[in-house]
Amino acid sequence: MSDRAVKPRIARIWRGRVPAAKADEYARYNYEVGIKPLEEKALGVQSLREDRDGESEFITISYWESIEAMARFTGSDPKQIHHLDRDPEFLIELPQSVQILHIIASSGNCGGD
């Protein structure tokens, strides 16, 4: 479990789109295979979903103390995309990158269940 006293300094943002008909199944799969491991290692994680006409976009934001901490979790360059095994089955297109952002200000409780 991560040390919640450590303040996040880095946000890693992943985005992917799935056809609307597969959105609920992907949400379950993504949570079990993608989000749960992040919950054990990252300082925090948010999983977001926007339903649109014909597709749903999923966004995962994980929070880290440093880029080095992300690298310890990923086992390689955290800026590189790491696809889940079944992503090609679900995603409209495989994302080619993630965003790595430095957190310059943060307040309040941004999490939720």
- The pLDDT score that the predictor gives to residue 71 is 85
Residue with tokens 């880029």: 67
Question: Rounded to 5 degrees, what are φ and ψ at 28?
Answer: -65, -45
Which CATH number among 2.70.98.50, 3.30.200.20, 3.30.70.100, 1.10.10.10 corresponds to the domain 10-102? 3.30.70.100
Low-confidence stretches of the chain (pLDDT beneath 70): 1-4, 109-113
Tokens of 59: 């966004």
What are the residue boundaries of the structural domains of the chain, listed by start?
10-102
- The pLDDT score that the predictor gives to residue 90 is 98
- The pLDDT score that the predictor gives to residue 112 is 47
CA distances from 33 to 27, 77, 86 (A): 10, 20, 10
- The pLDDT score that the predictor gives to residue 107 is 79
